Amino acid sequence: MELLTPPLQTPYLDVVTFRFAFVDAGRDFRIIGITGSDIDAWGEGTPISSANFVLTPIGDFYEFAVNSTVLAGVLVSDYNLTLVVDINNAVVPYHLDASTRVSVTIVERFMTYSPAPIDPATFGDNLTIQFDLSDSTRGWPVTGVDIAFDGQTVSLVEDVDFWITRGSGASAGHYIIDVNTSALGGPGDAIFDLDVTWTAGAPYYADLPTIAITGFVQDIETTLETDDQVIQGPWQGTAFVQVRFRNLYNGSLIPDANVKWIWPAADGHNGTLSDPL
């Protein structure tokens, strides 16, 4: 038997394949007509039922395929897979049986991280981070991961400073992290580290490298309110203007703001006055 294409490293759940030719060594030509019933397969010395593998003739060579889960329920390296061509050597052209051994390595699967755009959040509100995890080759959602999340410049505590929601059902593989921006120190760029790891056994996903996520926290919106749009006062007397500087996040009044008053003067120039509010 001549091994033409050895098996590549195969992710768990995927199919292990390799190609070989059955060669008449004396006359140096490839023998065709071999079927699955002519093949005995052994994995680490244990017989593999012909119902669990597929032999496909391709021209004058063959492709052998077996699911990785048939060979082992765990990740393996240098797994011994032996094939024996067991044909009837009592008939013409009297070919002898032949065998070949291949080494199989079953590796971790890979995840794909797909982030959603992050909308800016007002300081005091929650900053919402959303992303999806899927199988890189099959596309199905990945659930059951371990998530570690923290700020790069501040330390955050889960269920105190941020909360993780894991989707299920139709939303499986979708993850939401809500961050309390009050824990971030103030407005501006907020940079976080996200680590996604897998410890749940099969189907054995590889951990993702640390992902840096940037969100933006904006200033709290405010409004300047007055009860009277027109203020009246006596000539050369005093006019009183009362305003309220209000925080639109929670409706509270904001003390200690510096206010600049501007009004048109009689000479055509603007008058100004700065005063704390």
Global pTM exceeds 0.85: no
Q: In angstroms, rounded to a whole number, what is the distance separating the alpha carbons of residues 61 and 92?
A: 20
Q: In angstroms, rounded to a whole number, what is the distance separating the alpha carbons of residues 144 and 199?
A: 8
User: Token digits for 274?
Assistant: 């700065």
- pLDDT value of residue 25: 64
Q: Tell me the per-residue pLDDT of 79-125, one tens digit each, with 9 for 90 and over.
A: 999 998 876 554 445 455 678 899 999 999 999 999 999 999 999 89
Range list for CATH 2.60.40.10 in the chain: 2-107, 111-218
Q: Tell me the per-residue pLDDT of 50-64, one tens digit each, with 9 for 90 and over.
A: 999 999 999 999 999
- For tokens 């055509």, what's the residue? 268
Please, are residues 110 and 92 in contact by the beta-carbon 8 Å criterion? no
What's the mean pLDDT in 187-208?
Answer: 96
Closest by Cα among 208, 209, 193, 214 to 142: 208
Confidence of residue 163 (pLDDT cuts 50, 70, 90): very high
CATH architecture assignment, domain 2-107? Sandwich (2.60)
The alpha carbon of residue 221 and the mean position of all alpha carbons in its chain are separated, in whole angstroms, by 34
Q: Is the CATH number 2.60.40.10 carried by domain 111-218?
A: yes
Confidence of residue 277 (pLDDT cuts 50, 70, 90): very low
Q: Tell me the per-residue pLDDT of 19-38, one tens digit each, with 9 for 90 and over.
A: 998 887 667 778 777 888 88
68 phi and psi angles, rounded to 5 deg: -60, -30
> In this model, does residue 206 exceed pLDDT 80?
yes
Closest by Cα among 238, 237, 277 to 261: 277
Please, are residues 257 and 245 in contact by the beta-carbon 8 Å criterion? yes
The alpha carbon of residue 133 and the mean position of all alpha carbons in its chain are separated, in whole angstroms, by 4
